[in-house]
């Protein structure tokens, strides 16, 4: 299952998760295309693996003071029930619909990154408790359904609300653990979790996440963000094209 190219991809995904937050969305399609893992097995395994990357990312970002814990707690109030609901719905959603949703998310995320990279990021922190809980709920349910862990949905929403980029990434790291834990618990009750696959993913992803989280605080990430954005657009288009051919 874990060919050399898949191991390299998973490490790269870990670096992206730790460094720029967005990257986990590449994991499920990578497991499908390079490891022949079905969508309904890959998504719960990825959620289990994100527990490791979330813990590593949260520790490193907290060490650098780039996690606003007051905001993180409020987002988690919404994310926890959202993640559980997503895990309950997951077994009833067809693989083709999941693949289509992931393709759209990948493409939208890449286009959003390309559009925003030349814009000035804001300095406003969301303050409404209702808004933060709603953001968390959307992030939780979407993450559990697509196996993206949290950052893919949370970061664009926070940047749209003019949250400073490092604070947005830090918050996405902090909510990964509760989202992943809740989704995994729900998957255990309502579907299946491949613990061996999930733990191996966690170890490999964690290695990359350590490097990525450290680089995020010491190196300019503009070039990396541009590369990631273009990669996401390309992967999203390929998945959507492949899905349309089989549809």
pLDDT of residue 196: 94
- Tokens encoding 174: 């902090």
Mean confidence (pLDDT) of the chain: 84
pLDDT of residue 246: 59
Of the pLDDT bands very low, low, confident and very high (cuts 50, 70, 90), residue 202 is: very high
- What is the domain count for the chain? 1
Rounded to 5 degrees, what are φ and ψ at 66?
A: -110, 25
Most confident segment among 94-108, 151-165, 183-197, 228-242: 183-197
pLDDT of residue 140: 93
Region 201-209 average pLDDT: 92
Q: Which region among 50-59, 85-94, 150-159, 202-211 has the lowest average model confidence (pLDDT)? A: 150-159
Compute the distance between CA of residue 6 and CA of residue 103 in angstroms, rounded to an integer.
19
pLDDT of residue 119: 53
- Tokens encoding 59: 């520790």
The H or E element containing residue 231 is: helix 222-246
> Helix 222-246 to helix 4-20 angle, to the nearest 10 degrees?
130
pLDDT of residue 241: 80
Give pTM, 2 decimals: 0.81
Q: Between residues 71 and 96, which one has the greater pLDDT?
A: 71
Do the Cβ atoms of 121 and 165 come closer than 8 Å?
Answer: yes
What range does the domain containing 82 cover? 4-246
Do the Cβ atoms of 169 and 66 come closer than 8 Å?
Answer: yes
Euclidean distance between the first and the last CA atom of the chain, given in angstroms as a whole number:
26
């Amino acid at each position: 299952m874990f060919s050399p190219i898949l191991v390299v991809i998973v490490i790269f995904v870990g670096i992206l998760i730790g460094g720029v937050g967005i990257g986990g969305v590449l994991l499920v399609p990578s497991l499908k295309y390079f490891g022949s893992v079905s969508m309904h097995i890959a998504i719960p395994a990825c959620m289990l693996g994100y527990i490791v990357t979330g813990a590593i990312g949260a520790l490193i970002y907290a060490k650098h003071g780039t996690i606003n814990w007051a905001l993180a707690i409020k987002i988690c109030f919404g994310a926890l029930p959202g993640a559980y609901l997503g895990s309950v719905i997951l077994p009833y959603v067809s693989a083709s619909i999941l693949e289509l949703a992931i393709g759209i998310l990948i493409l939208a995320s890449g286009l959003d990154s390309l559009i925003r990279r030349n814009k000035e990021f804001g300095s406003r922190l969301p303050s409404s408790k209702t808004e933060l809980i709603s953001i968390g709920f959307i992030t939780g349910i979407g993450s559990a359904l697509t196996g993206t862990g949290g950052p893919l949905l949370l970061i664009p929403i926070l940047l749209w609300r003019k949250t400073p980029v490092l604070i947005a990434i830090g918050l996405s790291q902090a909510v990964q653990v509760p989202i992943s834990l809740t989704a995994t618990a729900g998957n255990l009750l309502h579907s299946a979790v491949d613990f061996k696959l999930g733990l191996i993913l966690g170890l490999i992803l964690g290695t990359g996440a350590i490097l990525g989280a450290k680089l995020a605080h010491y190196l300019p990430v503009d070039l990396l963000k541009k590369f990631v954005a273009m990669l996401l657009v390309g992967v999203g288009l390929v998945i959507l094209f492949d899905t349309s051919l089989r549809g």
